């Protein structure tokens, strides 16, 4: 018998809300999630908020065909509303475990005043996945990089779930634990503070424990650096992963959204598929 979470759902079954804006690139994300739902017995609700400015019939019709073909537990819900973020957040209150949505970098003005994604991430009552550069997702993945800036069991468990779906099942996965040390400390291993060593052991323990449950054998690496963002960019250029799964440090600010955050910095400089976990 599986354990129940605080909402009465079993650990191996999630209700996932997937907002659909009507962009053709979203179909790639939908297909990934349909595969995940079929593999892990999750329930999907694809939500489209119909506004006069957006025409989504083509994408929704194609999605409906994909749902029937895959046989996943999924449905499409179309509602009318002027405030897309408000309607998504209203639906999210119905005991969803996760929201998954695609995002594109906005022009500066739109980013400052808050996109739909920023508003949903900031106020969602559950975890949120944001797929960036969705149009660049390849048909199959061979190398997935997961930079960890702190122990995050939910993120580790979720990315291991994704390695069960068809396009990811043969992929190598590397958990990269990054410590950013102050300039006042020498870089030698013997000078690393005890709290950093404790965190490293905790991350290693969680990755090993969750990997054993998932039946996976990922790579685990530790890096101590002065500049975490620069180090990650250099590592990505050297390793060239197909996908980066980044657990975010914190949610975006109310007014500025993602602007100025590490997530915005990385998304604006990495021209490859990224999944942010908030």
Q: Greater confidence, 55 or 97?
A: 97
- CA-closest candidate to residue 52, choices 84, 76, 29, 27: 84
pLDDT at position 9: 44
What's the Cα-to-Cα distance from 106 to each of 257, 258, 270, 272, 273, rounded to whole Å? 11, 10, 15, 17, 16
- In this prediction, residue 269 carries a pLDDT of 83
Strand 98-103 and strand 243-247: pairing? Answer: unpaired
- Report long-range pairs for 79-83 (Cβ below 8 Å, ≥24 apart): 79/47, 79/48, 79/49, 79/50, 80/49, 80/50, 80/51, 81/49, 81/50, 81/51, 82/51
Rg (CA), the chain: 19
Cα 161 vs. chain centroid, distance in angstroms? 12
The dihedral formed by the CA atoms of 147, 241, 271 and 109, expressed in degrees to the nearest 10: -20
Span of 6-15, 84-93, 225-234 with lowest mean pLDDT: 6-15
A 10 A CB-CB count for 194 gives 7
Average predicted confidence (pLDDT) for the chain: 83
**Which tops the pLDDT comparison, 3 or 74?**
74
Cβ-in-10-Å burial (0-12, 13-18, 19+) of 48 comes to buried
Burial 211-235 (b: 16+ CB within 10 A, else e): beebeeebebebebbeebeebbeeb
- What does the block give as tokens for 208? 């090993």
pLDDT (tens digit per residue) in 232-267: 999 999 999 999 999 987 766 654 455 556 777 777
Confidence of residue 1 (pLDDT cuts 50, 70, 90): very low
pLDDT value of residue 13: 65
Largest CA distance in the chain: 62
Going along the chain from its start, the domains and CATH numbers come out as: 15-136 (3.40.50.620), 143-241 (3.40.50.620)
Vertex 77, ends 72 and 83: CA angle to 5°? 135
Identify the bridge partners of residue 128 per DSSP, sorted by sequence position: 99
How confident is the model over 32-47, as a mean pLDDT? 90
pTM, two decimal places: 0.85
Handedness of CA 61, 59, 85, 10 (dihedral sign): positive
C-alpha 38 chain-centroid distance: 19
15-19 and 98-103 as β-strands: parallel, antiparallel, unpaired? Answer: parallel
What's 182's DSSP letter? Answer: -
Q: Tell me if residue 46 falls in helix, strand or coil.
A: strand
Structure tokens at 41: 């017995």
pLDDT in tens, 152-208: 999 999 999 988 888 888 889 999 998 888 777 776 667 778 888 898 899 999 999
Averaged pLDDT, 201-216: 93
pLDDT digits (tens, 9 = 90+) for 98-147: 999 988 655 434 443 357 888 898 899 999 999 988 888 888 889 999 99
Strands, E, within the chain: which ranges? 15-19, 43-50, 74-80, 98-103, 127-132, 143-148, 172-180, 219-225, 243-247, 274-277
């Amino acid at each position: 018998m599986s354990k129940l979470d605080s909402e009465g759902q079993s650990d191996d079954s999630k209700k996932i809300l997937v907002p659909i804006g009507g962009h053709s690139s979203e179909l790639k994300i939908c297909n990934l999630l349909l595969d995940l739902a079929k593999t892990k017995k999750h329930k999907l609700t694809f939500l489209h908020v119909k506004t006069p400015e957006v025409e989504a019939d083509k994408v929704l019709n194609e999605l409906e065909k994909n749902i029937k073909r895959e046989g996943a537990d999924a449905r499409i819900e179309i509602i009318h509303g002027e405030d897309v973020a408000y309607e998504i957040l209203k639906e999210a209150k119905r005991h969803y475990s996760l929201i998954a949505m695609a995002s594109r970098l906005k022009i500066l003005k739109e980013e400052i005043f808050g996109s739909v994604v920023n508003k949903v991430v900031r106020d969602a009552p559950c975890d949120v996945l944001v797929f960036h550069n969705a149009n660049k997702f390849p048909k199959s993945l061979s190398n997935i990089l997961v930079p960890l800036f702190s122990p995050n069991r939910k993120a580790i468990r979720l990315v291991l779930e994704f390695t069960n779906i068809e396009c990811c099942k043969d992929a190598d996965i590397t958990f990269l634990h990054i410590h950013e040390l102050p300039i006042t400390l020498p870089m030698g291993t013997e000078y690393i503070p005890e709290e950093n060593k404790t965190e490293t052991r905790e991350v290693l323990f969680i990755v090993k424990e969750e990997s054993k449950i998932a039946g996976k054998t990922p790579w685990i690496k530790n890096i101590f650096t002065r500049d975490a963002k620069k180090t990650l960019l250099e590592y990505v250029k050297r390793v060239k992963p197909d996908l980066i799964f980044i657990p975010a440090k914190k949610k975006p600010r109310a007014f500025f959204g993602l602007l100025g955050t590490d997530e915005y910095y990385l998304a604006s400089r990495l021209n490859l598929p990224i999944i942010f976990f908030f």
